Structure 1
Amino acid sequence: MKNLFLFYFISLSFIGYSQKKTLRTKFISEKIEIDGKLNEAIWNSAAVAGDFITFEPDNGKPIPESKKTEVRVLYDNDAIYIGALMNDENPGKILREITQRDDFGTSDIFGVFINGFNDGQQDFQFFVNAADGQADCITTDSNGEDYSWDAVWESKAVITDKGWVVEMRIPYAALRFSAENKQTWGLNFFREVRRDRYKYSWNFIDSKLGTFTQQNGILEGIENIKPPVRLFLLPYSSFYVNANAKQKTYGTLKGGLDLKYGINDAFTLDMILIPDFGQTKFDDQILNLGPFEQQFNENRPFFTEGTDLFSKGNLLYSRRIGGSPSTRPNLATNEVIDASPASVNLINAFKVSGRTKGGLGVGILNAVTEKTTASIRNTETGATREQVVEPLANYNVLVLDQRFRKNSSVAFINTNVTRNGRFRDGNVTALAWDLNTKKNTYNLAGDFKYSFINAAEDKKGIYSQLNFSETSGKYRYGMGAEIMTKDFDNNDLGINFQTNYYSVYGNASYRILNPTKYFNSFNTRLNVYTQFQKETGKIQSNNVNFQINSDTRKNHYIGFGLNSNPLESYDYYEPRAENRFVIIPQRIGGFLYISTNYNNNFAIDFNPSYAIFNEAGRETYGFSFGPRYRFNDKFTLAHNFNFFRQNNNKGYIDTFSDTDPSINIPPTIVFANRNVVTYSNTLSGKYALNSQMTFNIALRHYWSYADNKNILSLEQNGRLLDFRGYNTNKNSSFYSWNADVSYTWWFAPGSQISILYRNNAAARERTINKNFENNVTQLLNNEALSHVFSISVRYFIDYNSVKNYF
């Protein structure tokens, strides 16, 4: 009888969890003050969303009675109101680190997920932490969480003797929904108890399924509201003071405007006029010895916010817009470059994006960059001339993404760069698909891309991939293949390194879905990848790796992995010459990582690695070590030291031909046997006065050098032989310093004052100074060390708030 009752209870629980919960809200005319007290009488008449269920780590288990959570929802003509009561048996232990916006810190969290179309495609998520900080993002299953999206809304969190309370007001202008009289929204609530690392949701989120946004509950009862005019203006003014040893100190005043306009209930126009990106994060430059360019992160808000549609097909590398010029000056033997800009100025940019109720997503991005010239001087006459290195250029992206059955999509993507005059133009067109079974258990994804380059010689190429995978349960697997022709080129608006190959790959994984005696989470993964040169069939790349990741019951993250290249491979890129290759020997290596619980005031990240090649004396090893300390809820410092060494690394350094052109001898490709050593130090910290005012510091010192031991020549068979006829110094040393100290104040909703002091320097040399202390001193005393002090004021204007004044 007891077992029968238990079976009955479990069955009811499963049925309850698998069905979507429904909450009914009610209209109010009373004013609600967002003070975290919920003392307005109208709150008591609202329906309660309770019976939260564990999301992680013990998926499906009811929330403990000691953590009982109740949420109420009200609405009026302008906004939706959320009131949450979260019990805690020990309120004094609620973690509440104060952080800047969109940084949860070491704090308890409450969140609300809203989908105004209830189509399972996109959630607008709003979070409040126990220190009264805000975070918000747009979430899709295909692209995850985009925290660069920011909305303007109100919230207040208060710690009580029973737990903590959150009160929120989210205006309709921060949401997307249709104009129907009766609204049905997708809705979920989220709570994390940080000290336990337990996460709960109101509507059950089954971790066995490969979807998140489709497991919301339902909000009913909103009637007769109209989507507001979504017109937001963000005027700004910035003042910069620049100084270094080579130039006089000078000041620059800038001003501009960002505009956001809701074209209708689905589509939004974003526009920047006279952009200013002077306070964006600095780039982490490295010593790049390889054949490919360094890829940088995008830190400009316009190109990071709400760009999930534009990531379809992986064709957009937005750093191309306003990046380095596409050509270099043509010089005579008696000419030198006096000045050449490192980047091209952006004149303006706009994007239109959104998705209809029928699931059609439309994205249009357009940007214009200005004509850019380099100054060239004749060394004999002293005369100067200007040469265009980048003409007026237009960058355009079009995406049409049709979703169906709430979990699948087919997308058409086109990227185009048109440069004025005789300069190169580039166009890429793609079809991409992401198909899931109704129960989200299997996935078939892939794409087909076609590129056309209009230059001195037209170039056409294709790239295609197809992948099948199981996406649910403890055991999962996947397999796929890809092919790329030699002339495929998407580098005008995208980024691509390798071409002219085909590959096959597969993976298998295992994970626990509920905690065990030792682990909250545990997963293993095996990956196999082999790439072949398309014409010759030679193996360009091969890799087998096995990895284990775990989260212990004490919330320490521990993992390790083994990786190998079991076969020799033929590298067609390192020689920097067509149809030439260098043979890379077999390799085996491993790594370990340990990340102790960040809930503790003191925590450490440690990550050593080692690999050995099937070649005498050739090996790589290194480690990263990152201690962090939270002095109190306001002040935190984190340091990270990285060391990496490559012994007897073989790499390209030069190419030269015989001086007599009548002798038909292939060019000599010169390699070096070298030791490459890299050091990197970073320090980051914050001191928060409150959730609106924060001081931040970010320091980075980087030094890497390649010390050539002996010179080698590359033979036609891909082997390397000693070469004694080369005496040019091709050692490399690159070091850089970056320091940012900033203060930010959100002085009004959506409005911010930022004060930044920045200094930075970098140098590339052939002479290697191996004294670390002297290296740092020389860098900081470098006459190229520049100093920038800037103040930026941005003010948010909502048309709905100011229209009555006019």
Structure 2
Amino acid sequence: MRKLLFISTLFISFLGFAQKKTLQTKIISDKITVDGKINEAVWETVAPATDFVMFQPDNGKPIAENKRTEVKVLYDNDAIYISAKLYDDEPDKILKEISQRDDFGTTDFFGVFVNGYNDGQQNFQFFVNAADGQADCLSTDTNGEDYSWDAVWESKAVITNFGWVVEMRIPYAALRFSSEKIQKWGLNFFREIKRDRQKYSWNYIDSKIGTFTQQNGVLEGIQNIKTSTRLFLLPYSSFYINSGAHQKTYGTLKGGLDLKYGINDAFTLDMILIPDFGQTKYDDKILNLGPFEQQFNENRPFFTEGTDLFSKGNLVYSRRIGGSPSNYPTIKSNEEIIDNPANVSLINALKVSGRTKNGLGVGILNAVTEKTSAVIRNNDNQQTRNEVVEPLANYNVLVLDQRFRKNSSIAFVNTNVTRNGSFRDGNVSALVWDLNTKKNTYNLAGDFKYSYVTDVESKKGIATTLNFAETTGKYRYSFGGDLYTKDFDNNDLGINFETNYYSFYGNANYRILNPTKHFNGFRVNYNNFLQFRKDTGKIQGSNINVNVNLETKKNNSVGFGINVNPFERYDYYEPRTAGRFAISPTSYSFWAYYSRNYNYKFAFEINPEYSKANEAGRNYYEINLGPRYRFNDKLALNYNFGYSKRSNNKGFVDSIDGDLNPITPETIVFANRDVITYSNTLGGKYSINSKMNFNLSVRQYWSYAENKNYLSLEQNGRLKELPSYTENKNSSFYSWNMDLSYSWWFAPGSQVSVLYRNSAANFENVINKDFGENVKNLLNNQELQHVFSVSVRYFIDYNQVKHVF
């Protein structure tokens, strides 16, 4: 009888999961103090959201009574208010590591997901953890969660004798919604019990369906709200002290202003005037022996916040804005460059973004960079001259993104770079689509891009991609292809390395949706890829990959896989000469990883890899080892050691005229080399509380390429000995970066940051293999730079200060 009752209850529960839950709210006039006490009488006037359901690992399992969760929502003309009671039968075991904003750490957390348009396309997500820390992000099924987005809101979390409670105030300025009198929002609540690694949601999120944002419940009752003017000012002041062996110690005072203005309830204007990015994270530079530039992460807040619209079509690489100059100075034999700026200064930038009630998203990005010149000296008469390496330049992005049927979209994207004078200009337009069936069973995604570049000569090119996928169930698959013409070029505002090819790819995978006897999670993938040179039909790339990823019952992660390159590949990029190619041999590789559950105070990760090419002595192996230790809820350290060795690697080092080989007008020189890399990184944090944190980040990197002998590249793509070449083309690059920072969020949206940074880097052709001496020389290097900076940013809400004026 009990078994029959259990099955009936389970059936009724799952029948309810197929329907969206609805929560009612009401307007209030009483003031609510966000203190985690939830003692205002008005909270008793609305019903709670209850009956949470497990998302992971046992998808669909109702939450236990002793872990029940009750959430209520109220609102006024300025904000919505959320109270949550999170019951726990063992409150002393609640994990509550203190960490900085947007870093969950090892702690329980509670989240609120809001979609003001209830269109199933984008969630504004707000999290509070048991240590009273905040995190927020924008979430879409296409791009995942973007934690670079930061809003200004209030919260308080308190541990109690029955579990813990959360109280939140989210102003309408942090949300987007239509101007309708009667609002109906998409809404969901999320909870993770960290010690059990169990995640729950209020409205059931079916893991068989490959979508997250479309499985919200509904919030009803918001109507006739009169939102305040959304005008926020963020003035800042920064002071820098710079010191180095080749320069006098000097101080610099900077000041500026960021502005955010709500054009209406849906659209927002963001502006930066006199930007200051001096405290952004350093770049992890490497010894780059390949034919393409190194791609860096974007760390500047203005260019990372809320970039969902601007990422459509993958056409924007924002590091181009204020990046390295687009031209290199030309000099005569009696001249030398004495100053060539590494970066171009940004004058100002603005963004306008939002979405109409009919689902049309509009994004506009504009930035202006200043005219930049190199200084060149004539060694005969010691006179100097300036040569423009980057003129005054204007960068523009326009995005029009139409959503429909709550799960699909079609977008038009245009990027344009206009440089003053007779310099290169670039324009790229794209049509991008992401189409899903009504039940989110199948997806058709792709794009069509057109580029037009005017330089010494104009060129036009196209690129297109198309991908079809089954997106639900235990068994899923996808397949697609790309086509890029030779003259497609989006590198003025984007980044693209390869053109003049077409490719085909496919994937099939299996996953478990609920835990089994041995695993909490299990997934096996099969991938294949084949790329052809468009004008010759030769194979440029090939890969077959099988990998397995699983999570044990103790929540340790394990993975392993094999990669096979079954065909010789024709590399048209490594020779650095148009029309020439080098043949790469077939190869195979194995890799594995293990990651211990981060809930343990001591955890570690290990990731070995081995690769073997079908060529004598040509192989590659790498290992990364990363232990971490959490001393207590305030102090934690993590370390990572990486080592790799490429034996008998073949790569370009030089091109010379026909003196060594009169039959060939140009000799392309390759080296047979060993490439060895060491990296050590140390990270640490000490959190006084959730608003006051110390952080340490140290990176030591050394990589060298030792050439054993030199080879000439033949017209057929093969290599042969070149004993007549005797130049030293060895490479050794080593760098050091250390950041020690203090951050204090002294008021909502307002922050004091103190940073000490020292850094050094050096490249040379002489290889010193004494590791200890190498590091010592680097730290004693005359190029070691020291920077100490203090920055204060203050958030001003116009509505709170308007009475002053």
TM beyond 0.5: yes
* Residue matched to 1:377: 377
Do the aligned partners of 1:623 and 1:644 also contact (CA within 8 Å) in 2?
Answer: yes
* Residue matched to 1:707: 706
- One-letter amino acid matched to 2:666: P
1:664 Cα offset (Å)? 7.1
In structure 1, distance between residues paired with 2:539 and 2:227: 57
- One-letter amino acid matched to 2:703: S
In structure 2, distance between residues paired with 1:500 and 1:723: 31
- One-letter amino acid matched to 2:772: E
1:431 Cα offset (Å)? 0.7
In structure 2, distance between residues paired with 1:202 and 1:114: 13
Do the aligned partners of 1:192 and 1:200 also contact (CA within 8 Å) in 2?
Answer: yes
1:221 Cα offset (Å)? 1.3
1:659 Cα offset (Å)? 5.3
Q: Output aligned runs, 1:66-465, within 5 Å.
A: 66-465=66-465
In structure 2, distance between residues paired with 1:168 and 1:196: 25
SS at match of 2:149: coil
- One-letter amino acid matched to 1:371: K
Residues 360-411 of structure 1: CA deviation (Å, up to 9, x unaligned): 1111101000000000011111111000000000010111111110111111
* Residue matched to 2:754: 755
Note if 1:788 corresponds to 2:787: yes
In structure 1, distance between residues paired with 2:231 and 2:479: 46
- One-letter amino acid matched to 1:408: S
Once structures 1 and 2 are overlaid, which stretch shifts more, 120-129 or 340-349? 120-129
In structure 2, distance between residues paired with 1:285 and 1:399: 32
In structure 1, distance between residues paired with 2:664 and 2:212: 61
- One-letter amino acid matched to 2:738: A
Cα separation, partners in 2 of 1:382 and 1:19, compared to 1, 3 Å = same
1:3 Cα offset (Å)? 7.3
SS at match of 2:280: coil
In structure 2, distance between residues paired with 1:597 and 1:94: 16
SS at match of 1:27: coil
In structure 1, distance between residues paired with 2:77 and 2:364: 32
Once structures 1 and 2 are overlaid, which stretch shifts more, 26-35 or 426-435? 26-35
In structure 2, distance between residues paired with 1:583 and 1:619: 16
Do the aligned partners of 2:660 and 2:724 also contact (CA within 8 Å) in 1?
Answer: no
Do the aligned partners of 1:178 and 1:227 also contact (CA within 8 Å) in 2?
Answer: no
Residues 137-165 of structure 1: CA deviation (Å, up to 9, x unaligned): 11111111111111111111111111101
* Residue matched to 1:617: 617
In structure 2, distance between residues paired with 1:13 and 1:514: 17
Do the aligned partners of 2:119 and 2:407 also contact (CA within 8 Å) in 1?
Answer: no
* Residue matched to 2:724: 725
- One-letter amino acid matched to 1:287: L
- One-letter amino acid matched to 2:696: I
Note if 1:778 corresponds to 2:756: no
* Residue matched to 2:683: 684
In structure 1, distance between residues paired with 2:590 and 2:342: 39
In structure 1, distance between residues paired with 2:759 and 2:6: 66
- One-letter amino acid matched to 2:626: G
* Residue matched to 2:498: 498
TM-score by length of 1: 0.99
SS at match of 2:487: coil
In structure 2, distance between residues paired with 1:805 and 1:15: 56
* Residue matched to 2:524: 524
In structure 1, distance between residues paired with 2:51 and 2:756: 49
Do the aligned partners of 2:176 and 2:354 also contact (CA within 8 Å) in 1?
Answer: no
In structure 2, distance between residues paired with 1:5 and 1:516: 24
1:453 Cα offset (Å)? 0.8
* Residue matched to 1:40: 40
- One-letter amino acid matched to 2:722: F
SS at match of 1:774: helix
In structure 1, distance between residues paired with 2:582 and 2:301: 41
Do the aligned partners of 1:73 and 1:81 also contact (CA within 8 Å) in 2?
Answer: yes
Structure 1 gap ranges (5+): none
Do the aligned partners of 2:393 and 2:418 also contact (CA within 8 Å) in 1?
Answer: yes
1:753 Cα offset (Å)? 0.3
Do the aligned partners of 2:139 and 2:146 also contact (CA within 8 Å) in 1?
Answer: yes
SS at match of 1:48: coil
1:184 Cα offset (Å)? 1.2
In structure 1, distance between residues paired with 2:61 and 2:309: 35
In structure 1, distance between residues paired with 2:99 and 2:4: 50
Residues 22-65 of structure 1: CA deviation (Å, up to 9, x unaligned): 11112222222211111222222221110000011111110011
Q: Output aligned runs, 1:618-633, within 5 Å.
A: 618-633=618-633
- One-letter amino acid matched to 1:773: G
In structure 2, distance between residues paired with 1:326 and 1:445: 33
- One-letter amino acid matched to 1:302: F
Do the aligned partners of 1:179 and 1:226 also contact (CA within 8 Å) in 2?
Answer: no
Do the aligned partners of 1:179 and 1:227 also contact (CA within 8 Å) in 2?
Answer: no
1:226 Cα offset (Å)? 1.8
In structure 2, distance between residues paired with 1:316 and 1:99: 32
Do the aligned partners of 1:177 and 1:227 also contact (CA within 8 Å) in 2?
Answer: no
In structure 1, distance between residues paired with 2:4 and 2:239: 74
SS at match of 2:561: strand
